[in-house]
């Protein structure tokens, strides 16, 4: 999933907070990835409102999928724990 910066046209990536990822673990990391903002290497954080409608729709779809994966992981972990 590569998106272009609406300001300069450079590729943007989802902005991860490594500290939050470290403390929250895999599930937290997935939620950060799903709902974190995008950042351009040149312009810094880019609000989603600045992206084109088509890109925003794709981002939303990707976020929903990642949130569902995170929920599935959480349910799986809970199932494993309750079996012990
Ligand atoms: Zn940019």
Report field, pTM of the whole predicted structure over 0.85: no
Radius of gyration of the chain from Cα atoms?
A: 15
Domain count, the chain: 1
How far does residue 11's CA lie from ligand 1's centre (Å)? 8
How far does residue 40's CA lie from ligand 1's centre (Å)? 5
How far does residue 43's CA lie from ligand 1's centre (Å)? 4
How far does residue 17's CA lie from ligand 1's centre (Å)? 19
Task: Please give the pLDDT value at position 79.
Answer: 92
How far does residue 49's CA lie from ligand 1's centre (Å)? 14
Distance (Å, whole) CA 81 – CA 63: 27
The domain in which residue 76 lies consists of 3-83
Q: Is the pLDDT of residue 31 over 90?
A: no
Question: pLDDT category, 64, cuts 50, 70, 90?
Answer: confident
Is residue 15 within 8 A of residue 32, CB to CB? The reply is no
Task: Please give the pLDDT value at position 8.
Answer: 94
């Amino acid at each position: 999933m590569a998106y272009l910066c609406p300001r300069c046209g450079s590729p943007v990536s989802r902005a991860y907070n490594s500290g939050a990822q470290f403390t929250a673990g895999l599930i937290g990391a997935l939620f950060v990835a799903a709902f974190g903002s995008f950042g351009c290497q040149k312009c810094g954080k880019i609000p989603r409102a600045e992206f084109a409608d088509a890109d925003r729709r794709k981002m939303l779809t990707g976020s929903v999928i990642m949130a569902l994966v995170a929920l599935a992981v959480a349910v799986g972990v809970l199932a494993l724990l309750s079996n012990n």
